[in-house]
Amino acid sequence: MSLFGNNLSDAEKCFIIHGIQDDFRTDGRSCDNYRTIELAVNVLTNTHGSSKVRLGNTELLVGVKVELGKPEKATPDEGRIEFHVDCSPNATPAAQRKAANKDFVNNIESMLVRTYANKIAIDLTSLCIIKGKMCWIVHVDVLILECGGNILDCTSLGVKSALQDTGIPRVVVKSGDEGEEEVELPDDPFDVQHISVNNVPILVTVSFVGTRHIIDATVEEESCCSASVVMGVTRRGRILGVRKQCGGSLNPETLVEMLEFGKKSGRQLHVALDKMLKSYEKGTTGYL
Amino acid sequence: MATDSRRLAVPQSSLDPKSLCPAKVERLLNDEEQRLDGRYSSESRGIYLQCGTVSQAKGSCYCELGNTKVVCSVYGPKDVEHYEDFQMEGKIKCEFKYAPFSCSKHRGHIPDLSEAEISDVILQALTASVRLQCYPKSLIEVFIIVLENDGSAVSASITAASLALADAGIEQYDIVTSASVRVYGNGNFLEDPTSVEEYRPQDFDSESGGDLNHGLVTVALLPTLNQVCAVLSNGHLECDVLVETIQMCTSLAQNLYTAARKCLLSSVKSVDQNNA
């Protein structure tokens, strides 16, 4: 991630690290606070579900499209969910460098795949229409509009809200001629079913800067960070995948503290997001 | 699907015939608490390490962990490519690849998403140990290829990569050793899992509503400094189980230190003999 960090001088880095030591960050937050999160769902008309999230200076759009497809041979009774992340040079000048951009995007995609690759996160059998023949394929496309640090957490918030918003047409399977099954789409475009997002994970990045760990690091703080841990946390506090990032190392005790801290923050974030989505009115922006 | 025009075209999609057989629900532990290969849960496979296996490379290491076989070679330090910015610190490039025939499923020639992710994790682990400030304006290249994957390939690769760096004479704070543990149901920790024992998304107990813990955790450690330099997990785990598993991996990785040291010493000795 440091590729996208701006070039801070040693004095500036020192200032940030000392501030964090005293639990007072450059934007006035304490170590365990998120920046204000602005969220809007159902923002794109051509998608089945969408969301727009802004976390400090980080902004992204998530669009979910569902399409009919064939299930994988190995899992005939399951649909699929596919993630695609795109970062244009609009978001950060570093995206112009192809190799760096690819690494950056792969990093986000692989963490999403890692945390969704289990039966807890999402029930893929509910996406199956005809066993072995037809299923829903859910394409989750993330477009990063602005990079302001903590992309991973922001992405996962957007993905969860967009999936919650996603309406899958309620198709009817009928037996047609010669025992072949036929699929009929409903006439009413609002006749849809929703994906259960109760156990969908939110990614929480805990960064270790200087001598303390912080949450929701800005770009400047990310460039001072020696090591960070990303984890997928469900609403119940289960952990669906962990990865250490950045080139530093961590004391085993510190690592444990960071994991527990991340779990706690993740659960709080889930509660705040669910509350906001429940009371959400279309066309407005909600705040977490 | 990404294709490479320089290579012979193969069918765009093919299928492993084994996947057509009805999936056997195998229990990984029998009633006598033994695993499929006869090991007990807290029993690791033997490890074999040898440095200097690739003659063309500056440093190299071959690692065998049961049937898992990994080769790692290190080139450099050499000049960074001209378009890179000037940097006071050296740079490491790491490429992890499963050989196309190494897994039960055929793998493509082009690194896929999971291979790119593993490369990145290994790179981060090595960055923590290499004294990069000693190599300004230079690039150190690490290439890892898995010849046969029978589980724990990532941890074998990390250990091999660090030894290859040491063999190349790259300055490091410490050797990196790594170990994996599979969490199987509540209270079962299978050390050093084989490929059958590794976590798959299908591992889910529908009766219990997914209350059981399933997952695979890999940890890399700087053994003499007692610092964790890589953590990678998948599956679904409670936080306290995850913490316990990480501690278990740490102590397993610690145990590998003696073997790693021995391997380095013997490689130095053999070089000495050749020179004499």
| β-strands A58-69, A49-55 pairing | antiparallel
Domain span at residue B90? Answer: 41-271
**Single-letter residue type at B40:** Y
CA distances for A110 relative to A84, A115, B95, B97, angstroms:
10, 9, 16, 16
Our CA-based measurement puts residue A257 at a distance from the nearest CA of chain B, in whole angstroms, of: 10
With CB atoms and an 8 Å threshold, state whether B234 touches A118. Answer: yes
- Residue A99, classed as helix, strand or coil, is helix
Q: What pLDDT, on the 0 to 100 scale, is given for residue B184?
A: 87
* pLDDT confidence bin for A83, thresholds 50/70/90: very high
Domain harbouring B196, CATH code: 3.30.230.70
B231 touches chain A (CB under 8 A): yes
Distance of CA A98 to the CA centre of its chain: 23
Q: What pLDDT, on the 0 to 100 scale, is given for residue A96?
A: 80
Q: Decide if pLDDT at A2 tops 50.
A: no
Q: What pLDDT, on the 0 to 100 scale, is given for residue A3?
A: 46
Q: Is residue B25 part of a domain?
A: no
Task: Give the residue from chain B lying closest to A105, CA to CA.
Answer: B113
Q: What pLDDT, on the 0 to 100 scale, is given for residue B33?
A: 81
CA distances for A42 relative to A118, A194, B30, angstroms:
27, 13, 51
Q: Decide if pLDDT at A159 tops 90.
A: yes
Q: Decide if pLDDT at A87 tops 70.
A: yes
Our CA-based measurement puts residue B260 at a distance from the nearest CA of chain A, in whole angstroms, of: 20
Lowest-confidence segment of A8-17, A104-113, B5-14 by average pLDDT: B5-14
Q: Is residue B47 part of a domain?
A: yes
Q: Is residue B112 part of a domain?
A: yes
| β-strands A80-87, A134-146 pairing | parallel
Q: What pLDDT, on the 0 to 100 scale, is given for residue A205?
A: 96
Q: A237's torsion region: left (phi>0), alpha (psi -120 to 50) or beta?
A: left
- Residue A20, classed as helix, strand or coil, is helix
Q: Are B215 and B180 in contact (CB under 8 A)?
A: no
With CB atoms and an 8 Å threshold, state whether A251 touches B236. Answer: no
Q: Are B181 and B190 in contact (CB under 8 A)?
A: yes
Q: Give, for all 276 residues of chain B, the pLDDT tens digit.
A: 566 667 666 666 777 777 777 666 667 888 888 888 888 888 899 999 999 999 999 999 999 999 999 999 999 899 887 666 777 889 999 999 999 999 888 888 888 899 999 999 999 999 999 999 999 989 999 999 999 999 999 999 999 999 999 999 999 999 999 999 999 887 889 999 999 888 887 766 655 566 788 899 999 999 999 999 999 999 999 999 999 999 999 999 999 999 999 999 999 888 888 887
With CB atoms and an 8 Å threshold, state whether B242 touches A242. Answer: yes
- Going across the sheet that includes B91-98, the strands are B47-51, B59-65, B68-79, B138-148, B91-98
Q: Are B76 and B134 in contact (CB under 8 A)?
A: no
Q: Are B229 and A247 in contact (CB under 8 A)?
A: no
Which residue has tokens 């119940």? A236
Q: Which helix (H) or strand (E) segment is B154 a member of?
A: helix B153-167
What mean pLDDT comes out for the span A270-283? 87
Q: What pLDDT, on the 0 to 100 scale, is given for residue B83?
A: 65
Please give the CATH number for the structural domain made up of A10-280: 3.30.230.70
What mean pLDDT comes out for the span A143-162? 94
**Single-letter residue type at A247:** G
Task: Give the residue from chain A lying closest to B244, CA to CA.
Answer: A256
| pTM of the complete model | 0.91
Contacts of B124 in chain A (CB under 8 A): 244-247
Q: Which of A233, A41, A271 has its CA nearest to residue A156?
A: A233
Q: What pLDDT, on the 0 to 100 scale, is given for residue B105?
A: 83
Tell me the C-alpha distance between B192 and B213, whole Å. 17
With CB atoms and an 8 Å threshold, state whether A252 touches B246. Answer: yes
Q: Is residue B106 part of a domain?
A: yes
Tell me the C-alpha distance between A156 and A265, whole Å. 14
With CB atoms and an 8 Å threshold, state whether B116 touches A110. Answer: yes
- Average pLDDT over all residues of chain A: 90
Q: Are A196 and A163 in contact (CB under 8 A)?
A: no
Our CA-based measurement puts residue A186 at a distance from the nearest CA of chain B, in whole angstroms, of: 32
Write the pLDDT tens digit of every residue in A183-225. 888 888 888 889 989 899 999 999 999 999 999 999 999 999 9
Q: Which of B134, B122, B108 has its CA nearest to residue A247?
A: B122
Q: At what angle do helices B153-167 and B113-129 cross, to 10 degrees?
A: 40
Task: Give the residue from chain B lying closest to A262, CA to CA.
Answer: B239
Q: What pLDDT, on the 0 to 100 scale, is given for residue B256?
A: 94
A245 touches chain B (CB under 8 A): yes
Q: Is residue B2 part of a domain?
A: no
3-state helix, strand, coil in chain A (%, to 5): 30, 30, 35
A47 touches chain B (CB under 8 A): no
Contacts of B217 in chain A (CB under 8 A): 242
A258 touches chain B (CB under 8 A): no
